[in-house]
Amino acid sequence: MVEVEEAGLGLRGAVAVGAVAAAALSACGAGSRGFEPMNDERAARLLNQGGLGATPAEGAAIVKQGADVWFDAQVAMPPGASIWQWAIDHGFANRAFARSDYGLDQAMWWRLCTAQDVLRQRLVLALSEIFVVSPLNMVAYWRQFGCIAWWELLEQHCFGNFRDLLTHITLSPTMGVYLSMRGSAKETVAGRRPDENFARELLQLFTIGLHELDIGGRPRQPLTETYDAATISNLASVFTGWDVDGFNPLDPEGAFDYWRSPMAFHADRHASGEKRVLGVTIPDGTPGPQAMQMALDAIFQHPNIGPFIAKQLIQRLVTSNPSPAYVQRVAWAFADNGAVPSVRGDMVAVLRAVLADPEARPDKVEPAAGAVNVLTDGKLREPVLRLLQWLRLSRATSTDGQWNVPDLSGSDMIGQAPLRAPSVFNFFRPGYVPPNSEVARLGLVAPEFQVTNESTVIGYANFLRMVLPFGGGGILPNYEDWLAHADDVPTLVDQLDLHLTGRMLSRATLDTVVQGVSSITGQSNNERRNRVLAAFFLVMTCPEYLVQR
């Protein structure tokens, strides 16, 4: 494959290569790289990266048919039953909940625990942490349904084109309310100005970032800003005139279908005048909807967008510190999906490039006896994904069908919950560096450590200890499959190691876990069950599990 960076070309040079580079990329299959041959361990690791945790059935299917077949089947699989309709059917449309977000957690955990389209759900979870909305600080009625509509929007468009996704994100009433674009209107002599919130975050957090990047996702030197205050002001003017379509202020606790409809345009509220966005001039008099599309086109064509999105998706799914070459390969898949004619922004090609890359699943390295593990690949597992692994691996069910999982984002719980980020910056920022740490000394980042402290570490362990035996809130784990191994502790621990980590635990850690579990005699059914619970707990709290590789 043509290695643009190694040839001495920065991002601007790479863009200038144009048709020559596109032809070279098509020849080497940009965006269509196949997966490596699968064994049990690699299948489990792939499912932990691109799914919702590995189960025996899913892993066996990938080993049998190959990861490419699995990937294509997952992309072709339609979403499951509507989350929106599930929430209505289970009583969360009651007027008593109109001023709250009650029902959001239940709907999200039902979806994540029961979904078969695991690749889509994993990508949606990742995108929801890049394009953030949250019921927190959202001033609106029926916030739970606003967030559910947002999840369904991402489900519908995550396998499409990134350019189309930008339009749907911009016109979403949920995003419009959360980042206050809805109702933004032209300036007045009284001093009102267009709201700049969405315009700023669209550039800074969602698409191109603060500084120009090379094709490997590194800031170009000297640092050069991608936009200035005037760009934000002009872009904010472009986004004037849009508002929620169908909200009834005379009955705000009534119908709430407006959350599922794109915002409507009101020409009388749109700012007049010429607007300049990232080198594109939008003439005075351009209709608002057309001006919006011209602005989004300019953002979509910005040279930063490929490496910016590539690196964030790699961080969310695979590793916190991808090499520039890894980012480059995914960025090229964003630029050219390998089809004829080529397509820019093909999200399926980008996702395949992330998950099928040679760096996605490096070989296991067994540390020398007594040595400190200094591996720098992988990522800290998000608390949500840890809990989800256990729920799906234990085949947990809801005894009453309500999936009564509370808000788990408190430090006394697990410190995170789907769609409950405290701000538009998510629970953790992609460039977060734990202060005074070895990570900082090595010049690395560790995003998930932003929600890792003394309280959350203990809170997670205590939460596991509380829910592992019998769940809670009607959520009931089923350990039947694991009790079959309770009399053979090494096999029990090995199988948990396989499905939870892809057999990435070190020999020393395995020996410690086996010794601890074996200390439970296993002479009664209760003791055999305690062996299973202890094995889950010891594996799921050890450092080598907490770091996904």
pTM: 0.94
Please list the residues that pair with 265 across neighbouring strands.
242
DSSP state letter for 183:
T
CB of 415 closer than 8 Å to CB of 456? yes
Provide the H-helix boundaries in 131-287: 143-157, 162-171, 173-178, 197-201, 229-238
Alpha-carbon gap, residue 413 to 122, rounded angstroms: 22
Judge whether 55 and 496 are in contact, CB under 8 Å: no
The pLDDT averaged over each successive group of 10 residues in the chain (549 residues) is 36 36 42 86 98 97 98 97 98 97 98 98 98 95 98 98 98 98 94 96 98 98 97 98 96 97 98 97 98 98 98 98 98 96 98 98 82 78 97 97 94 92 97 94 96 91 95 96 97 98 96 98 95 98 95
- Checking 133-138 for CB contacts under 8 A at 24+ apart, the result is 133/172, 133/174, 133/175, 133/178, 133/419, 134/178, 134/419, 134/420, 134/421, 134/422, 134/423, 134/424, 135/101, 135/104, 135/419, 135/420, 136/420, 136/421, 136/422, 136/423, 137/178, 137/423, 138/177, 138/178
What pLDDT is attached to residue 376?
80
Q: Which residues on neighbouring strands pair with residue 280, listed in sequence order?
A: 277
Distance separating alpha carbons of residues 10 and 8, to the nearest angstrom: 7
pLDDT at 372: 61
Q: Please return the burial class of 276, using the count of CB atoms within 10 Å of its CB with bins 0-12, 13-18 and 19+.
A: middle
Would you put residue 498 in left (φ > 0), alpha (ψ -120 to 50) or beta?
alpha
Over its C-alpha atoms, the chain yields an Rg (Å, rounded) of 24
What pLDDT score does 370 carry?
Answer: 67
Distance CA 540, CA 520 (A): 18
Question: Which residues have C-beta within 8 Å of that of residue 159, sequence separation ≥ 6?
Answer: 75, 120, 123, 347, 348, 351
Burial state string for 115-127 with b = 16 or more CB within 10 A and e = fewer than 16: bebbbbbbbbbbb
Q: Is 547 helix (H, G, I), strand (E, B) or coil?
A: strand
Nearest to 227 by CA among 161, 277, 158, 155: 277
The conformational region for residue 296 under phi > 0 = left, psi -120 to 50 = alpha, else beta, is: alpha
Domain spans, the chain: 170-298, 379-548
Write the DSSP string, 292-357: HHHHHHHHHTSTTHHHHHHHHHHHHHT-SS--HHHHHHHHHHHH--S-SS--TTBHHHHHHHHHHS
Q: Note the pLDDT of residue 371.
A: 66
SS3 393: helix
What integer pLDDT is reported at residue 366 of this predicted model? 80
Decide if 66 contacts 35 (C-beta within 8 A).
Answer: yes
Q: What is the DSSP string of 399-457?
A: TTSS-------STTTTS--TT--SSTT-SS-TT---TTSHHHHTT---GGGGG-SHHHH
Within 183-279, residue ranges assigned H as helices are 197-201, 229-238
- For residue 133, give every residue at least 6 positions away whose Cβ sits within 8 Å of its Cβ, in sequence order, or none: 146, 147, 150, 172, 174, 175, 178, 419
Instruction: Please report the pLDDT score of residue 479 as a whole number.
Output: 98
315: region left, alpha or beta (phi > 0 left; psi from -120 to 50 alpha)? alpha
